[in-house]
Structure 1
Amino acid sequence: MKSHRFMATPAGKLLLVVDHGSLTAVYHEVHNPPPIPSAVGVPFAKISGPSGGVGETPTAANLLADAGTFDRAEDQFRAYFAGKRRTFSLPVQANGTDFQQRVWAAVLAIPYGETRSYKELAVRLGNPLMGRAIGTAIRVNPLAIIIPGHRVVSSSGAVTGYSAGAAVKRFLLDLEAGDSVRPAAWAQAADGSDGAPP
């Protein structure tokens, strides 16, 4: 059963979605297009009671697996925003068409701190004329930041076409370039020396 939890970050809130121990979606609070309700399920706290969620009663093992995935995801995002993590190591499941999966795999291969153009990805995938289709596939990527669509820019280098807007995309690119000021509370949280982020 899908459930979600919000997490505060320096780039705004993230909506994390977990289903049977796998992270299935990461959406920005202001995500365009917004996720449909069935893609996010119910708030995690609502299914942790004895009655379970709507239509399905989760087992204790499922609840424990989901809670563990939420906790690991939050830890890894805190480390990412503190500049201490470049990749994510989480159980994920991104549902999409074969073409979308190919595009997302190509995006996932873009190294931290680097960018590629839509045209470069199109050439890599075998058709230099499918830049627009690639942009559409990136736009519906269900795992924002983890599948780093923010690393894809226009051929001119312009920062456009991100699900949370150009300002968030620029923030993430600057963060990865080491140009962003990282709040001390986030750095401490990533070290495990202090509690949750503000």
Structure 2
Amino acid sequence: MTLNYLYMHSPVGRLQLVADEQALVAVLWECEKANRVRLHHLVENQNNIILIETQKQLSEYFQGYRQRFDLPLKLNGTDFQQQVWRALLNIPYGETRTYKEIALAIGNLKAVRAVGSAIGRNPISIIAPCHRVIGADGKLVGFAGGLANKEILLNLEKTNKI
């Protein structure tokens, strides 16, 4: 299956948005590690409706006008990963959760490390807000976009929270 992509510039660097014809598949970082998210058959397409809408909603988010995304998502991962990524979608704007709290939310307290691993493979960064997950001690840890970008996103939300 061929996936479309486009790049957008943002306060956290250039983002690569990836979608098929029905749903958003990935939001990738400029500093993306090879094979963190496995995608094949990518074709640049500035006219994909899902990508255009994703770019619009992300721009609104960065401008402080959007706190919730309304996009069709296709989460490609194991059942466990998908469960964790869906839990991320439930973290309210401007709030944070710990890895332990995510493990509790999915009903598997013993899976804290596995939760961390699944979050590290989150293909739809920002949309599924893995930047809102912090260490048990309240420190910023483990973010594919880099800790500086995690801090930017959290500060943006703190500043614009209603």
TM-score by length of 2: 0.90
The 1:119/1:6 distance shift into structure 2, 3 A limit, reads same
The 1:83/1:31 distance shift into structure 2, 3 A limit, reads same
Contact 2:7 2:17 in 1 (8 A): yes
Aligned to 2:17: 16
Gaps of 5+ in 2: none
Query: Are 1:151 and 2:132 counterparts?
Result: yes
Aligned to 2:89: 108
Aligned to 1:168: 149
Query: Are 1:28 and 2:29 counterparts?
Result: yes
**Structure 1 residue 31, shift from structure 2 partner:** 1.9
Root mean square deviation, CA, Å = 1.7
Gaps of 5+ in 1: 46-65, 180-198
Q: For 2:103 and 2:37, how far apart are their aligned partners in 1? A: 26
Question: In the comparison of the two structures, how many residue pairs are matched?
Answer: 158
> C-alpha deviations, 1:22-62, integer Å up to 9, x for none?
21111111123554451x612226xxxxxxxxxxxxxxxxx
One-letter amino acid of the structure 1 residue matched with residue 50 of structure 2:
T
**Structure 1 residue 2, shift from structure 2 partner:** 0.5
Q: For 2:119 and 2:33, how far apart are their aligned partners in 1? A: 12
Percent identity, please. 42
Q: For 2:27 and 2:73, how far apart are their aligned partners in 1? A: 10
**Structure 1 residue 165, shift from structure 2 partner:** 1.0
Aligned to 2:108: 127
TM-score by length of 1: 0.75
Which has more radius of gyration? 1
Aligned to 1:83: 64
SS in structure 1 at match of 2:48? helix
